[in-house]
Structure 1
Amino acid sequence: MVVEWSRRHAGDMTKSAAARPGSSPVRRAAAFAGAAVLAGTAAVCAPGVAYSAPRVTAATATDFGDCPALPDGVDPSRWRCEVHTAAPRLTLGSVTVNLATITMTHAEGPMPDGSDGQVWGAMHSSPTALPGGLTGTPAGDRTAVLGLAIQPEYGGRSDFYTGRFSLRFRLIGPLVSHACTIGTGAPVDFQLKRSGPSRWVSQDPPVIEFSAYDDTFAAPAAGHCGPLTAALNRRLGLPAAQGNRLSYDASYTFKTYDQLPAEHDKEQKGGNLSR
Structure 2
Amino acid sequence: MTNSPAVRSGSGRRPLAPVRRLATVAGAALLAGTAIVCAPGAAYSTPGSGTSVAPPSDFGDCPPLPQGVDPGRWRCEVQTAAPRLTLGRVTVTLAPITMTHAEGPLADGGKAQVWGGMHAAATSVPGGLTGTAMGDRSPLLGLAIQPEYGGRSDFYSGQLSLRFRLRGPLVPKSCAVGADTPVDFRLQRSGPSTWVSQDPPVIEFSAYDDTFAARGAGRCGPLTALLGRRLGLPATEGNLLSFDASYTFRTYDRLSQGRPAGRV
Q: Which residue of 2 aligns with 1:133?
A: 128
Q: TM-score when scaled to structure 2?
A: 0.80
Q: Distance in 1 between matches of 2:212 and 2:104?
A: 29
- The alpha-carbon distance between structure 1 residues 92 and 271, as it changes in their structure 2 partners (threshold 3 A), is farther
> Which digits, 9 at most, give the CA deviation of each residue in 1:93-136, with x for residues without a partner?
11000000000000000011111110000000000000000000
Contact 2:209 2:240 in 1 (8 A): yes
1:259 aligns with 2:254: yes
| Structure 1, 60-69 or 241-250: larger mean CA deviation | 60-69
User: CA separation in 1, counterparts of 2:224 and 2:200?
Assistant: 47
Contact 1:119 1:271 in 2 (8 A): no
| Corresponding position of 2:28 | 8
Distance 1:109 1:102 in 2: 23
Which residue pairs with 2:189 in the alignment? 194
What is the rounded CA distance, in whole Å, between the counterparts of 2:34 and 2:194 in structure 1?
Answer: 9
**Distance of 1:201 and 1:19 partners within structure 2:** 18
Report the counterpart of residue 67 of structure 2 in structure 1: 72
Aligned equivalents of 1:9, 1:100: Cα separation in 2:
24
2:35 to 12, 19, 38: 19
Corresponding residue pairs, total: 221
Do the aligned residues in 2 keep the contact of 1:128 with 1:150 (CA within 8 Å)? yes
Which residue does the alignment assign to 1:51?
A: none
Query: How far did 1:268 drift?
Result: 3.7
Rate the CA distance shift 1:145–1:60 in 2: closer, same or farther, 3 A: farther
The answer to whether 1:89 aligns with 2:84 is yes
Q: TM-score, normalised by structure 1?
A: 0.77
Counterpart of 1:31?
A: none
Identify, as 1 or 2, the structure richer in helix.
Answer: 1
Q: Per-residue deviation at 1:18? A: 2.5
Q: Which of 152, 155, 161 is 1:160 aligned to? A: 155
Residue pairs, 1:107-256, within 5 angstroms: 107-256=102-251
Could you tell me which amino acid in structure 2 is paired with residue 8 of structure 1? A
Contact 1:9/1:197 (CA < 8 Å) preserved in 2? no
Match of residue 11 from structure 2: none
Report the secondary structure of 1:77's partner residue. helix
In 2: Cα distance, 1:184 partner to 1:173 partner? 16
Q: What is the Cα-based RMSD across aligned positions, in Å?
A: 1.9
- Are the aligned partners of 1:134 and 1:235 in contact in 2 as well (CA < 8 Å)? yes
Counterparts in 2 of 1:9 and 1:221: CA distance versus 1, 3 Å: closer
Unaligned runs of 5+ in 1: 11-15, 21-58
Cα drift, residue 19 of structure 1: 3.1
Structure-2 change in CA distance of 1:202 and 1:172 (3 Å): same
Aligned residue type for 2:92: V
Q: Deviations over 1:126-182 (max 9, x none)?
A: 000000000000000000000000000000000001110100000000000000010
Write out the 4+ residue segments of structure 1 that deviate beyond 2 Å after TM superposition.
Answer: 16-20
Aligned partners of 1:230 and 1:215: how far apart in 2?
25
Could you give the per-residue CA deviations for residues 168-205 of structure 1, whole angstroms, max 9, x where no partner exists?
A: 00000000000001001110000001100000000000
| Secondary structure at 2:228 match in 1 | helix
Residues 224/72 of structure 1: CA separation in 2 closer, same or farther (3 Å cut): same
Q: What's the CA shift string for 1:62-97, capped at 9, x where partnerless?
A: 211100000111100000001000000000011000
- Preserved contact between residue 90 and residue 96 of structure 1 (Cα < 8 Å): yes
SS of residue paired to 2:224: helix
Determine what percentage of the aligned residue pairs are the same residue: 69
Q: Hey, what's the Cα distance between the residues in 2 that align with 1:135 and 1:208?
A: 40
CA contact (8 A) 2:158 2:186 kept: yes
* Cα distance change, pair 271–62 in 1 and its aligned pair in 2 (3 A): farther
Secondary structure of 2:108 counterpart: coil
